[in-house]
Amino acid sequence: MNAHHDQDIEWDVLGVHREREAGLHAPALAQTMDWLRDLLRTNGGGCTPVHRVLDIGSGPGLVTCLLAHTFPDAEVVAVD
């Protein structure tokens, strides 16, 4: 018998909670994506090409989706 049975995580419940929590932060995260895109702009008005984005600790994937939207030509990889 598992000695930590009372501490088992109900991943289905936690996943829904994490998605809701991430959704609450969506406006701030969208601003962060705009900042990141602007940070990569060069003085010539272009944008440094982004070919690949790695989201480590992606959780429910909200930031991953925002990164994919912000950098549509990049391969976006999520690892949780």
Using left for φ > 0, alpha for ψ between -120 and 50, and beta otherwise, residue 33 falls in: alpha
Question: What is the value of pTM for the model shown?
Answer: 0.67
| Whole-number percent of the chain with pLDDT over 90 | 31
Look at residue 1 in the predicted model and tell me its pLDDT. 47
Summarised one tens digit per residue, pLDDT across range 39-58 is 887 655 666 788 999 999 98
- Asked whether residue 1 is assigned to any structural domain, the reply reads no
- Asked whether residue 75 is assigned to any structural domain, the reply reads yes
Number of domains comprising the chain: 1
* 9 contacts: CB under 8 Å, gap ≥ 6: none
Mean pLDDT of 20-47: 79
State which residues form the domain around 14.
Answer: 10-79
